[in-house]
Structure 1
Amino acid sequence: MQSRRLEVACDESGFSGTNLLDPNFEVITHASVHVDARTAAECVALIRSRYRYSATEYKSTQLLRQGPALEWLLRTLTGRGHVHLTDKSYFVVTRLVDLLIGDPSYAAGTSLAPELRSLALTLHRQGPEVFGQVKWNAFLTAFVAMMRTKRHRVINSPAVDAFFYHLDLLDSDRLDLSCLRDARPQVEKVLTELLGERSSVPPPLEPLLPALLETARHWSAGGRSVAIVHDEQSALTPHRVGRISALLADTTQGPPPLLGLTMVDSRTDPRVQLADLLAGAARHIAVTELHAEGSPVLTALLRPYLSPHSLWSDIPSWTRLTSA
Protein backbone atom coordinates (compact mmCIF):
# COMPACT_ATOMS: atom_id res chain seq x y z
CA MET A 1 0.00 0.00 0.00
CA GLN A 2 1.35 3.43 -0.94
CA SER A 3 2.23 5.66 2.01
CA ARG A 4 -0.05 8.64 2.49
CA ARG A 5 2.80 10.63 4.05
CA LEU A 6 5.71 11.97 2.07
CA GLU A 7 8.62 14.33 2.54
CA VAL A 8 9.77 16.84 -0.06
CA ALA A 9 12.81 19.11 -0.13
CA CYS A 10 12.58 22.72 -1.34
CA ASP A 11 14.73 25.65 -2.34
CA GLU A 12 14.29 28.89 -4.28
CA SER A 13 16.16 30.86 -6.90
CA GLY A 14 15.98 34.58 -7.56
CA PHE A 15 15.27 35.75 -4.03
CA SER A 16 16.09 39.45 -3.63
CA GLY A 17 14.46 40.28 -0.32
CA THR A 18 11.89 43.06 -0.44
CA ASN A 19 13.55 44.52 -3.54
CA LEU A 20 10.84 42.97 -5.69
CA LEU A 21 11.16 45.44 -8.57
CA ASP A 22 14.85 44.79 -9.27
CA PRO A 23 15.01 44.41 -13.09
CA ASN A 24 17.95 42.01 -12.72
CA PHE A 25 15.82 39.56 -10.73
CA GLU A 26 12.45 39.56 -12.49
CA VAL A 27 11.48 36.02 -11.51
CA ILE A 28 11.66 33.90 -8.39
CA THR A 29 11.21 30.14 -8.60
CA HIS A 30 10.36 27.75 -5.80
CA ALA A 31 11.25 24.13 -6.53
CA SER A 32 10.51 20.95 -4.64
CA VAL A 33 11.71 17.39 -5.14
CA HIS A 34 10.45 14.08 -3.79
CA VAL A 35 13.53 11.87 -3.66
CA ASP A 36 15.32 10.11 -0.83
CA ALA A 37 18.66 11.37 0.44
CA ARG A 38 20.63 8.52 -1.13
CA THR A 39 19.17 9.08 -4.60
CA ALA A 40 19.72 12.82 -4.31
CA ALA A 41 23.34 12.33 -3.27
CA GLU A 42 23.90 10.00 -6.22
CA CYS A 43 22.42 12.55 -8.63
CA VAL A 44 24.59 15.38 -7.30
CA ALA A 45 27.69 13.17 -7.30
CA LEU A 46 27.00 12.07 -10.87
CA ILE A 47 26.69 15.67 -12.04
CA ARG A 48 29.98 16.55 -10.35
CA SER A 49 31.86 13.62 -11.80
CA ARG A 50 30.34 13.66 -15.26
CA TYR A 51 30.57 17.39 -15.75
CA ARG A 52 33.92 18.02 -14.06
CA TYR A 53 32.90 20.03 -11.05
CA SER A 54 34.04 19.10 -7.55
CA ALA A 55 33.15 22.02 -5.25
CA THR A 56 31.63 21.32 -1.85
CA GLU A 57 28.19 22.27 -3.12
CA TYR A 58 27.31 22.18 -6.81
CA LYS A 59 25.19 25.29 -7.44
CA SER A 60 22.76 26.11 -10.23
CA THR A 61 25.08 28.80 -11.62
CA GLN A 62 27.52 26.05 -12.58
CA LEU A 63 24.75 23.84 -13.91
CA LEU A 64 23.54 26.53 -16.30
CA ARG A 65 26.92 26.55 -18.01
CA GLN A 66 26.61 22.85 -18.73
CA GLY A 67 23.86 22.22 -21.26
CA PRO A 68 24.06 18.41 -21.15
CA ALA A 69 23.98 18.44 -17.34
CA LEU A 70 20.92 20.68 -17.34
CA GLU A 71 19.07 18.43 -19.75
CA TRP A 72 20.08 15.33 -17.80
CA LEU A 73 18.76 16.79 -14.54
CA LEU A 74 15.40 17.74 -16.02
CA ARG A 75 14.98 14.32 -17.62
CA THR A 76 16.00 12.52 -14.43
CA LEU A 77 13.63 14.32 -12.05
CA THR A 78 10.54 14.11 -14.26
CA GLY A 79 7.61 13.08 -12.06
CA ARG A 80 9.56 13.77 -8.89
CA GLY A 81 9.76 17.56 -8.98
CA HIS A 82 7.51 20.60 -8.96
CA VAL A 83 8.19 24.28 -9.73
CA HIS A 84 6.19 27.37 -8.86
CA LEU A 85 7.04 30.51 -10.86
CA THR A 86 6.51 34.08 -9.67
CA ASP A 87 6.80 37.15 -11.86
CA LYS A 88 7.82 39.59 -9.12
CA SER A 89 6.33 42.74 -10.59
CA TYR A 90 3.02 40.94 -11.09
CA PHE A 91 3.26 39.63 -7.53
CA VAL A 92 3.55 43.24 -6.30
CA VAL A 93 0.32 44.13 -8.12
CA THR A 94 -1.50 41.10 -6.69
CA ARG A 95 -0.39 42.17 -3.22
CA LEU A 96 -1.60 45.70 -3.85
CA VAL A 97 -5.03 44.49 -4.92
CA ASP A 98 -5.39 41.82 -2.23
CA LEU A 99 -4.30 44.04 0.64
CA LEU A 100 -6.03 47.27 -0.35
CA ILE A 101 -9.26 45.97 -1.85
CA GLY A 102 -9.76 42.36 -0.85
CA ASP A 103 -9.30 40.22 2.21
CA PRO A 104 -5.67 40.47 3.37
CA SER A 105 -5.43 36.82 4.36
CA TYR A 106 -2.93 34.01 3.82
CA ALA A 107 -5.21 32.68 1.07
CA ALA A 108 -4.94 35.94 -0.89
CA GLY A 109 -2.73 35.70 -3.94
CA THR A 110 -3.11 31.92 -4.17
CA SER A 111 -5.43 29.56 -6.00
CA LEU A 112 -7.59 29.46 -2.87
CA ALA A 113 -8.72 33.06 -3.50
CA PRO A 114 -8.92 33.81 -7.25
CA GLU A 115 -11.63 36.49 -7.01
CA LEU A 116 -9.37 39.51 -7.56
CA ARG A 117 -6.90 37.90 -9.95
CA SER A 118 -8.54 39.36 -13.06
CA LEU A 119 -8.31 42.89 -11.63
CA ALA A 120 -4.64 42.40 -10.78
CA LEU A 121 -3.97 41.12 -14.29
CA THR A 122 -5.72 44.11 -15.82
CA LEU A 123 -3.73 46.59 -13.74
CA HIS A 124 -0.43 44.83 -14.36
CA ARG A 125 -0.91 44.52 -18.12
CA GLN A 126 -2.50 47.92 -18.80
CA GLY A 127 -0.99 50.15 -16.11
CA PRO A 128 2.36 50.84 -17.82
CA GLU A 129 0.70 51.58 -21.16
CA VAL A 130 -2.12 53.75 -19.79
CA PHE A 131 -0.10 55.79 -17.29
CA GLY A 132 3.42 55.49 -18.69
CA GLN A 133 6.16 53.18 -17.49
CA VAL A 134 7.91 55.82 -15.35
CA LYS A 135 4.80 56.83 -13.40
CA TRP A 136 3.70 53.22 -13.02
CA ASN A 137 7.09 52.13 -11.69
CA ALA A 138 7.13 55.05 -9.24
CA PHE A 139 3.66 54.04 -8.03
CA LEU A 140 4.66 50.40 -7.45
CA THR A 141 7.91 51.50 -5.78
CA ALA A 142 5.90 53.68 -3.41
CA PHE A 143 3.64 50.73 -2.59
CA VAL A 144 6.61 48.52 -1.79
CA ALA A 145 8.11 51.23 0.42
CA MET A 146 4.82 51.66 2.26
CA MET A 147 4.59 47.93 2.92
CA ARG A 148 8.09 47.58 4.38
CA THR A 149 7.08 47.20 8.02
CA LYS A 150 10.17 45.51 9.43
CA ARG A 151 11.71 47.47 12.32
CA HIS A 152 8.72 49.86 12.36
CA ARG A 153 6.82 50.24 15.63
CA VAL A 154 4.26 52.66 14.21
CA ILE A 155 2.76 53.21 10.79
CA ASN A 156 5.18 54.92 8.44
CA SER A 157 2.87 57.86 7.66
CA PRO A 158 5.24 59.60 5.19
CA ALA A 159 5.38 56.38 3.14
CA VAL A 160 1.58 56.17 3.15
CA ASP A 161 1.32 59.77 2.01
CA ALA A 162 3.88 59.13 -0.74
CA PHE A 163 1.92 56.14 -1.99
CA PHE A 164 -1.32 58.10 -2.32
CA TYR A 165 0.57 60.99 -3.90
CA HIS A 166 1.85 58.70 -6.65
CA LEU A 167 -1.61 57.15 -6.95
CA ASP A 168 -3.11 60.61 -7.57
CA LEU A 169 -0.65 61.10 -10.44
CA LEU A 170 -2.21 58.14 -12.25
CA ASP A 171 -5.12 59.86 -13.95
CA SER A 172 -6.79 58.41 -17.03
CA ASP A 173 -10.30 57.64 -18.23
CA ARG A 174 -9.00 54.38 -19.66
CA LEU A 175 -8.31 52.68 -16.32
CA ASP A 176 -10.39 53.38 -13.22
CA LEU A 177 -8.40 53.36 -9.97
CA SER A 178 -11.14 54.75 -7.72
CA CYS A 179 -11.20 51.50 -5.75
CA LEU A 180 -7.60 52.20 -4.73
CA ARG A 181 -8.10 55.90 -4.05
CA ASP A 182 -10.73 55.06 -1.43
CA ALA A 183 -8.49 52.51 0.30
CA ARG A 184 -6.67 54.68 2.88
CA PRO A 185 -8.71 53.28 5.83
CA GLN A 186 -7.93 49.76 4.61
CA VAL A 187 -4.23 50.64 4.27
CA GLU A 188 -4.06 51.92 7.83
CA LYS A 189 -5.94 48.87 9.12
CA VAL A 190 -3.61 46.46 7.35
CA LEU A 191 -0.44 48.30 8.38
CA THR A 192 -1.61 48.39 12.00
CA GLU A 193 -2.17 44.64 11.93
CA LEU A 194 1.25 44.06 10.37
CA LEU A 195 2.97 45.77 13.31
CA GLY A 196 2.25 42.67 15.39
CA GLU A 197 4.79 39.84 15.31
CA ARG A 198 2.02 37.24 15.04
CA SER A 199 -0.15 39.08 12.57
CA SER A 200 -3.11 37.39 10.93
CA VAL A 201 -2.14 39.31 7.79
CA PRO A 202 0.74 37.73 5.83
CA PRO A 203 3.83 39.86 5.18
CA PRO A 204 3.01 41.61 1.91
CA LEU A 205 6.44 41.36 0.29
CA GLU A 206 7.20 37.64 0.71
CA PRO A 207 6.51 35.69 -2.51
CA LEU A 208 7.74 32.47 -0.90
CA LEU A 209 4.58 32.20 1.20
CA PRO A 210 2.09 31.69 -1.66
CA ALA A 211 4.68 29.49 -3.37
CA LEU A 212 4.94 27.34 -0.24
CA LEU A 213 1.16 27.02 -0.03
CA GLU A 214 0.89 25.93 -3.66
CA THR A 215 3.78 23.49 -3.20
CA ALA A 216 2.04 21.88 -0.22
CA ARG A 217 -1.24 21.71 -2.16
CA HIS A 218 0.47 19.99 -5.08
CA TRP A 219 2.19 17.27 -3.08
CA SER A 220 -0.74 16.67 -0.72
CA ALA A 221 -3.21 16.07 -3.55
CA GLY A 222 -5.15 12.85 -3.22
CA GLY A 223 -5.34 12.89 0.55
CA ARG A 224 -1.63 12.77 1.31
CA SER A 225 0.20 14.64 4.05
CA VAL A 226 3.48 16.35 3.24
CA ALA A 227 6.41 17.31 5.45
CA ILE A 228 8.75 19.89 3.96
CA VAL A 229 12.50 20.21 4.33
CA HIS A 230 13.59 23.66 3.24
CA ASP A 231 16.80 25.61 2.81
CA GLU A 232 17.22 28.20 5.55
CA GLN A 233 14.90 31.11 4.82
CA SER A 234 13.96 33.80 7.35
CA ALA A 235 10.61 34.47 5.66
CA LEU A 236 9.31 31.03 6.67
CA THR A 237 8.80 31.59 10.37
CA PRO A 238 6.96 28.97 12.47
CA HIS A 239 4.00 31.34 12.85
CA ARG A 240 3.67 31.87 9.09
CA VAL A 241 4.07 28.19 8.27
CA GLY A 242 1.50 27.41 10.96
CA ARG A 243 -0.94 29.84 9.36
CA ILE A 244 -0.50 28.16 5.98
CA SER A 245 -0.87 24.71 7.50
CA ALA A 246 -4.09 25.70 9.30
CA LEU A 247 -5.49 27.30 6.15
CA LEU A 248 -4.84 24.17 4.10
CA ALA A 249 -6.38 21.97 6.79
CA ASP A 250 -9.51 24.15 6.87
CA THR A 251 -9.97 23.91 3.12
CA THR A 252 -9.28 20.19 2.73
CA GLN A 253 -11.08 17.08 3.88
CA GLY A 254 -9.04 14.21 5.26
CA PRO A 255 -5.58 14.22 6.86
CA PRO A 256 -3.70 17.51 7.32
CA PRO A 257 -2.04 18.48 4.01
CA LEU A 258 1.01 20.17 5.56
CA LEU A 259 2.57 18.41 8.53
CA GLY A 260 5.31 20.98 9.09
CA LEU A 261 8.49 22.53 7.78
CA THR A 262 12.07 21.92 8.88
CA MET A 263 14.88 24.21 7.77
CA VAL A 264 18.33 22.84 7.05
CA ASP A 265 21.67 24.03 5.72
CA SER A 266 21.61 23.08 2.05
CA ARG A 267 25.27 22.04 2.24
CA THR A 268 24.27 19.15 4.51
CA ASP A 269 21.24 17.88 2.60
CA PRO A 270 21.63 16.65 -1.00
CA ARG A 271 17.86 16.73 -1.50
CA VAL A 272 17.83 20.50 -0.94
CA GLN A 273 20.87 20.81 -3.22
CA LEU A 274 18.88 19.04 -5.90
CA ALA A 275 15.93 21.38 -5.35
CA ASP A 276 18.32 24.32 -5.67
CA LEU A 277 19.55 23.01 -9.02
CA LEU A 278 15.98 22.56 -10.25
CA ALA A 279 14.97 26.03 -9.05
CA GLY A 280 17.94 27.66 -10.78
CA ALA A 281 17.33 25.76 -14.00
CA ALA A 282 13.65 26.68 -13.97
CA ARG A 283 14.36 30.37 -13.37
CA HIS A 284 16.86 30.46 -16.23
CA ILE A 285 14.41 28.84 -18.64
CA ALA A 286 11.46 30.98 -17.50
CA VAL A 287 13.40 34.24 -17.83
CA THR A 288 14.64 33.37 -21.30
CA GLU A 289 11.09 32.56 -22.35
CA LEU A 290 9.88 35.84 -20.83
CA HIS A 291 12.26 37.59 -23.23
CA ALA A 292 11.37 35.28 -26.14
CA GLU A 293 14.88 33.83 -26.18
CA GLY A 294 14.16 30.36 -24.86
CA SER A 295 15.36 26.96 -25.99
CA PRO A 296 12.48 24.77 -27.21
CA VAL A 297 14.28 21.68 -25.89
CA LEU A 298 14.79 23.05 -22.37
CA THR A 299 11.31 24.56 -22.24
CA ALA A 300 9.76 21.22 -23.18
CA LEU A 301 11.79 19.50 -20.46
CA LEU A 302 10.66 22.02 -17.83
CA ARG A 303 6.99 21.90 -18.82
CA PRO A 304 5.94 18.87 -16.72
CA TYR A 305 7.25 20.51 -13.54
CA LEU A 306 5.34 23.79 -13.72
CA SER A 307 2.57 24.65 -11.31
CA PRO A 308 -0.60 25.77 -13.10
CA HIS A 309 -1.06 28.18 -10.19
CA SER A 310 2.18 30.05 -10.82
CA LEU A 311 1.92 33.85 -10.57
CA TRP A 312 2.64 34.62 -14.20
CA SER A 313 0.99 37.27 -16.36
CA ASP A 314 2.76 37.24 -19.73
CA ILE A 315 0.58 35.25 -22.10
CA PRO A 316 3.08 34.50 -24.92
CA SER A 317 5.78 33.15 -22.60
CA TRP A 318 3.27 31.21 -20.48
CA THR A 319 1.89 29.63 -23.63
CA ARG A 320 5.37 28.54 -24.68
CA LEU A 321 6.16 27.27 -21.19
CA THR A 322 2.99 25.21 -20.76
CA SER A 323 1.75 24.21 -24.23
CA ALA A 324 3.27 21.29 -26.08
Structure 2
Amino acid sequence: MLATGDDDGVVKLWDPRKAEPLREYTQHFDFISDFLWLEDKKHLVCTSGDGTLSVIDVRSKKTEPFAQSEDQEDELLSVVSIKGSQKLVVGTQLGILSIFNRRSGYGDCVDRIPGHPYSIDALCNIPSHYPNSHSTILTGSSDGMLRVVQLLPTKLLGVVADHGEFPIERIAVDRGGEGRWVGSAGHEEVLKLTDLKEVFEDEGDEEEEEQEEDSDDENAASTEVNDEDAQKAQSSDEEEEKEERNASDGEGGKEAKAEAESSDDEGAVERKRKKKDKDPFQITKKSKGRNGLEAEPSFFADL
Protein backbone atom coordinates (compact mmCIF):
# COMPACT_ATOMS: atom_id res chain seq x y z
CA MET A 1 0.00 0.00 0.00
CA LEU A 2 0.90 3.64 -0.42
CA ALA A 3 0.19 6.57 1.91
CA THR A 4 -0.43 10.18 0.88
CA GLY A 5 -1.05 13.35 2.86
CA ASP A 6 -2.54 16.56 1.44
CA ASP A 7 -2.66 20.24 2.40
CA ASP A 8 -5.99 19.74 4.18
CA GLY A 9 -4.53 17.19 6.62
CA VAL A 10 -6.19 14.14 5.01
CA VAL A 11 -4.18 10.89 5.02
CA LYS A 12 -5.16 8.23 2.47
CA LEU A 13 -4.08 4.61 2.08
CA TRP A 14 -3.92 3.35 -1.50
CA ASP A 15 -3.79 0.01 -3.23
CA PRO A 16 -1.85 0.56 -6.51
CA ARG A 17 -4.22 -1.86 -8.25
CA LYS A 18 -7.30 0.26 -7.48
CA ALA A 19 -8.31 3.78 -8.51
CA GLU A 20 -9.97 4.67 -5.20
CA PRO A 21 -8.25 4.92 -1.79
CA LEU A 22 -8.81 2.14 0.71
CA ARG A 23 -9.20 4.38 3.76
CA GLU A 24 -9.10 8.06 4.68
CA TYR A 25 -8.02 9.61 7.99
CA THR A 26 -9.10 13.11 8.92
CA GLN A 27 -7.63 13.62 12.42
CA HIS A 28 -5.47 16.53 11.18
CA PHE A 29 -6.76 19.88 9.97
CA ASP A 30 -3.53 21.28 8.49
CA PHE A 31 -1.01 20.02 5.94
CA ILE A 32 0.73 16.65 6.37
CA SER A 33 4.48 17.29 6.45
CA ASP A 34 6.12 13.85 6.82
CA PHE A 35 5.61 10.11 7.33
CA LEU A 36 7.54 7.46 9.28
CA TRP A 37 6.95 3.72 8.96
CA LEU A 38 7.45 1.53 12.07
CA GLU A 39 7.88 -2.01 10.82
CA ASP A 40 7.63 -3.79 14.18
CA LYS A 41 4.09 -2.59 14.91
CA LYS A 42 2.96 -1.84 11.35
CA HIS A 43 2.34 1.74 12.41
CA LEU A 44 2.41 4.84 10.21
CA VAL A 45 3.51 8.02 12.04
CA CYS A 46 2.24 11.32 10.59
CA THR A 47 3.41 14.86 11.40
CA SER A 48 1.26 17.85 10.61
CA GLY A 49 1.35 21.62 10.47
CA ASP A 50 -1.40 21.70 13.09
CA GLY A 51 1.21 20.89 15.78
CA THR A 52 0.20 17.29 16.46
CA LEU A 53 1.63 13.85 15.73
CA SER A 54 -0.61 10.87 14.98
CA VAL A 55 -0.04 7.11 14.68
CA ILE A 56 -2.12 4.97 12.33
CA ASP A 57 -2.41 1.18 12.60
CA VAL A 58 -2.72 0.15 8.95
CA ARG A 59 -3.98 -3.34 9.90
CA SER A 60 -7.06 -1.90 11.54
CA LYS A 61 -10.09 -1.02 9.45
CA LYS A 62 -10.96 1.89 11.72
CA THR A 63 -10.58 5.39 10.34
CA GLU A 64 -9.47 6.71 13.72
CA PRO A 65 -5.76 6.88 14.58
CA PHE A 66 -4.13 4.50 17.04
CA ALA A 67 -2.74 7.50 18.99
CA GLN A 68 -2.40 11.25 18.66
CA SER A 69 -0.23 13.71 20.57
CA GLU A 70 -1.23 16.91 22.28
CA ASP A 71 -0.79 20.23 20.53
CA GLN A 72 2.96 21.02 20.57
CA GLU A 73 2.26 24.70 19.82
CA ASP A 74 4.58 24.56 16.82
CA GLU A 75 4.44 23.17 13.31
CA LEU A 76 5.84 19.63 13.07
CA LEU A 77 7.73 19.38 9.80
CA SER A 78 9.80 16.17 9.82
CA VAL A 79 10.25 12.91 11.74
CA VAL A 80 12.87 10.16 12.04
CA SER A 81 13.52 7.29 14.48
CA ILE A 82 16.64 6.70 16.63
CA LYS A 83 17.82 4.22 19.27
CA GLY A 84 16.55 1.21 17.32
CA SER A 85 13.18 2.88 16.58
CA GLN A 86 12.50 3.25 20.31
CA LYS A 87 12.51 7.05 20.11
CA LEU A 88 11.25 9.52 17.51
CA VAL A 89 12.87 12.84 16.61
CA VAL A 90 10.58 15.53 15.21
CA GLY A 91 11.79 18.73 13.52
CA THR A 92 9.77 21.90 14.14
CA GLN A 93 9.26 25.33 12.65
CA LEU A 94 11.16 27.07 15.48
CA GLY A 95 14.30 24.96 14.98
CA ILE A 96 13.72 22.66 17.96
CA LEU A 97 14.12 18.89 17.85
CA SER A 98 11.36 17.23 19.89
CA ILE A 99 12.03 13.72 21.26
CA PHE A 100 9.15 11.25 21.68
CA ASN A 101 9.61 8.01 23.62
CA ARG A 102 7.43 5.17 22.35
CA ARG A 103 7.43 3.45 25.74
CA SER A 104 6.06 6.62 27.34
CA GLY A 105 3.36 6.95 24.73
CA TYR A 106 2.73 9.55 22.06
CA GLY A 107 0.88 12.05 24.20
CA ASP A 108 3.75 14.51 24.60
CA CYS A 109 7.46 14.82 23.88
CA VAL A 110 9.96 13.90 26.59
CA ASP A 111 12.71 16.31 25.57
CA ARG A 112 13.32 19.39 23.44
CA ILE A 113 16.70 20.15 21.87
CA PRO A 114 17.23 23.70 20.57
CA GLY A 115 20.16 24.82 18.44
CA HIS A 116 19.01 25.22 14.84
CA PRO A 117 18.58 28.88 13.87
CA TYR A 118 15.73 28.14 11.43
CA SER A 119 13.08 25.52 10.79
CA ILE A 120 14.07 21.86 10.42
CA ASP A 121 12.35 20.75 7.24
CA ALA A 122 13.97 17.32 6.71
CA LEU A 123 15.53 14.55 8.81
CA CYS A 124 17.41 11.41 7.85
CA ASN A 125 19.36 8.57 9.51
CA ILE A 126 23.00 7.84 8.70
CA PRO A 127 24.23 4.37 7.61
CA SER A 128 24.39 1.86 10.45
CA HIS A 129 28.10 1.01 9.95
CA TYR A 130 29.21 4.44 11.16
CA PRO A 131 29.91 4.94 14.90
CA ASN A 132 26.98 6.22 17.01
CA SER A 133 24.62 5.74 14.05
CA HIS A 134 21.80 4.82 16.45
CA SER A 135 21.81 8.38 17.83
CA THR A 136 23.21 10.49 14.94
CA ILE A 137 21.00 12.08 12.28
CA LEU A 138 21.20 14.44 9.32
CA THR A 139 19.12 17.61 9.54
CA GLY A 140 18.05 19.84 6.64
CA SER A 141 17.14 23.40 7.60
CA SER A 142 15.53 26.31 5.83
CA ASP A 143 18.86 28.17 6.06
CA GLY A 144 20.22 25.77 3.40
CA MET A 145 22.54 23.86 5.75
CA LEU A 146 22.73 20.08 5.88
CA ARG A 147 24.06 19.25 9.35
CA VAL A 148 25.17 16.16 11.27
CA VAL A 149 23.78 16.14 14.80
CA GLN A 150 24.40 13.60 17.55
CA LEU A 151 21.63 13.24 20.14
CA LEU A 152 21.71 12.05 23.74
CA PRO A 153 24.23 13.57 24.38
CA THR A 154 23.62 16.45 21.99
CA LYS A 155 26.54 17.50 19.82
CA LEU A 156 26.76 19.28 16.47
CA LEU A 157 29.32 17.28 14.48
CA GLY A 158 29.49 19.58 11.46
CA VAL A 159 27.95 20.80 8.21
CA VAL A 160 27.75 18.30 5.34
CA ALA A 161 26.40 20.49 2.51
CA ASP A 162 25.30 24.05 1.89
CA HIS A 163 22.46 25.02 -0.44
CA GLY A 164 22.97 28.73 0.11
CA GLU A 165 19.77 30.73 0.56
CA PHE A 166 17.45 27.89 -0.52
CA PRO A 167 15.70 25.67 2.05
CA ILE A 168 16.34 21.92 2.07
CA GLU A 169 13.15 19.93 1.50
CA ARG A 170 14.31 16.31 1.38
CA ILE A 171 17.32 14.18 2.42
CA ALA A 172 18.01 10.55 1.49
CA VAL A 173 20.99 8.15 1.63
CA ASP A 174 21.50 5.80 -1.31
CA ARG A 175 21.22 1.99 -1.17
CA GLY A 176 18.28 2.01 1.21
CA GLY A 177 20.01 4.22 3.75
CA GLU A 178 23.19 2.13 3.93
CA GLY A 179 25.17 3.67 1.08
CA ARG A 180 27.98 6.16 0.78
CA TRP A 181 26.20 9.16 -0.74
CA VAL A 182 23.56 11.45 0.74
CA GLY A 183 21.32 13.42 -1.60
CA SER A 184 19.75 16.71 -0.57
CA ALA A 185 17.20 18.65 -2.60
CA GLY A 186 16.09 22.26 -2.13
CA HIS A 187 14.31 25.06 -3.94
CA GLU A 188 17.21 25.82 -6.30
CA GLU A 189 16.27 22.87 -8.59
CA VAL A 190 19.57 21.12 -7.85
CA LEU A 191 20.23 17.70 -6.32
CA LYS A 192 23.41 17.75 -4.24
CA LEU A 193 25.27 14.50 -3.61
CA THR A 194 27.73 14.47 -0.71
CA ASP A 195 30.24 11.72 0.09
CA LEU A 196 29.64 10.61 3.69
CA LYS A 197 32.98 8.83 3.76
CA GLU A 198 34.82 12.15 3.70
CA VAL A 199 32.62 13.44 6.53
CA PHE A 200 32.73 10.56 9.01
CA GLU A 201 36.12 8.98 8.37
CA ASP A 202 38.05 12.01 9.58
CA GLU A 203 37.30 10.89 13.13
CA GLY A 204 38.64 7.45 12.32
CA ASP A 205 41.82 9.01 10.93
CA GLU A 206 42.29 10.93 14.17
CA GLU A 207 41.90 7.73 16.16
CA GLU A 208 44.45 6.04 13.91
CA GLU A 209 46.85 8.94 14.44
CA GLU A 210 46.41 8.64 18.20
CA GLN A 211 47.08 4.92 17.98
CA GLU A 212 50.20 5.60 15.91
CA GLU A 213 51.41 8.12 18.49
CA ASP A 214 50.84 5.58 21.26
CA SER A 215 52.77 2.95 19.31
CA ASP A 216 55.60 5.46 18.74
CA ASP A 217 55.73 6.12 22.49
CA GLU A 218 55.85 2.38 23.15
CA ASN A 219 58.65 1.98 20.61
CA ALA A 220 60.57 4.85 22.21
CA ALA A 221 60.17 3.25 25.63
CA SER A 222 61.36 -0.11 24.27
CA THR A 223 64.42 1.54 22.67
CA GLU A 224 65.24 3.20 26.00
CA VAL A 225 65.01 -0.18 27.70
CA ASN A 226 67.25 -1.67 25.02
CA ASP A 227 69.77 1.14 25.52
CA GLU A 228 69.81 0.46 29.25
CA ASP A 229 70.36 -3.24 28.59
CA ALA A 230 73.19 -2.41 26.20
CA GLN A 231 74.83 -0.14 28.80
CA LYS A 232 74.55 -2.88 31.42
CA ALA A 233 76.07 -5.41 29.02
CA GLN A 234 78.92 -2.99 28.20
CA SER A 235 79.66 -2.34 31.88
CA SER A 236 79.69 -6.09 32.57
CA ASP A 237 82.16 -6.59 29.67
CA GLU A 238 84.41 -3.86 31.09
CA GLU A 239 84.33 -5.51 34.51
CA GLU A 240 85.33 -8.85 32.96
CA GLU A 241 88.21 -7.15 31.13
CA LYS A 242 89.38 -5.56 34.40
CA GLU A 243 89.26 -8.94 36.13
CA GLU A 244 91.31 -10.50 33.33
CA ARG A 245 93.87 -7.69 33.54
CA ASN A 246 94.09 -8.10 37.30
CA ALA A 247 94.60 -11.82 36.87
CA SER A 248 97.37 -11.26 34.34
CA ASP A 249 98.89 -8.66 36.64
CA GLY A 250 98.87 -11.23 39.46
CA GLU A 251 100.69 -13.83 37.36
CA GLY A 252 103.45 -11.49 36.19
CA GLY A 253 103.54 -9.38 39.30
CA LYS A 254 107.15 -10.23 40.19
CA GLU A 255 108.41 -9.34 36.76
CA ALA A 256 106.53 -6.06 36.86
CA LYS A 257 108.02 -5.27 40.29
CA ALA A 258 111.54 -6.15 39.10
CA GLU A 259 111.13 -3.97 36.07
CA ALA A 260 109.82 -1.17 38.21
CA GLU A 261 112.78 -1.49 40.64
CA SER A 262 115.33 -1.53 37.78
CA SER A 263 113.69 1.50 36.21
CA ASP A 264 113.80 3.26 39.60
CA ASP A 265 117.58 2.47 39.95
CA GLU A 266 118.30 3.79 36.48
CA GLY A 267 116.32 6.91 37.25
CA ALA A 268 118.37 7.47 40.44
CA VAL A 269 121.67 7.10 38.54
CA GLU A 270 120.51 9.56 35.92
CA ARG A 271 119.49 12.01 38.63
CA LYS A 272 122.92 11.66 40.25
CA ARG A 273 124.61 12.28 36.91
CA LYS A 274 122.52 15.29 36.35
CA LYS A 275 123.53 16.60 39.76
CA LYS A 276 127.18 16.06 38.97
CA ASP A 277 126.91 17.72 35.60
CA LYS A 278 125.04 20.63 37.03
CA ASP A 279 128.23 22.77 37.11
CA PRO A 280 130.37 21.62 34.15
CA PHE A 281 132.65 24.70 34.31
CA GLN A 282 133.53 24.14 37.99
CA ILE A 283 133.00 27.78 38.77
CA THR A 284 134.35 28.91 42.09
CA LYS A 285 132.93 32.41 42.09
CA LYS A 286 131.68 35.08 39.80
CA SER A 287 133.69 38.21 39.12
CA LYS A 288 132.25 41.63 39.17
CA GLY A 289 132.36 41.81 35.38
CA ARG A 290 129.31 41.20 33.33
CA ASN A 291 130.46 37.83 31.94
CA GLY A 292 133.52 37.19 34.04
CA LEU A 293 133.99 33.82 35.74
CA GLU A 294 136.80 32.31 37.83
CA ALA A 295 137.16 28.55 37.30
CA GLU A 296 139.48 25.85 38.67
CA PRO A 297 142.71 25.38 36.66
CA SER A 298 142.03 21.66 36.34
CA PHE A 299 139.07 22.47 34.05
CA PHE A 300 141.46 23.85 31.41
CA ALA A 301 143.88 20.93 31.73
CA ASP A 302 141.48 18.55 30.00
CA LEU A 303 140.85 20.84 26.99
TM-score normalised to structure 2 length: 0.22
Query: Which has a greater percent of helix?
Result: 1
| Structure with greater contact order relative to length (CA < 8 Å, sep ≥ 6) | 1
Query: Which has a greater percent of strand?
Result: 2
Tell me which structure has the larger Cα radius of gyration.
Answer: 2
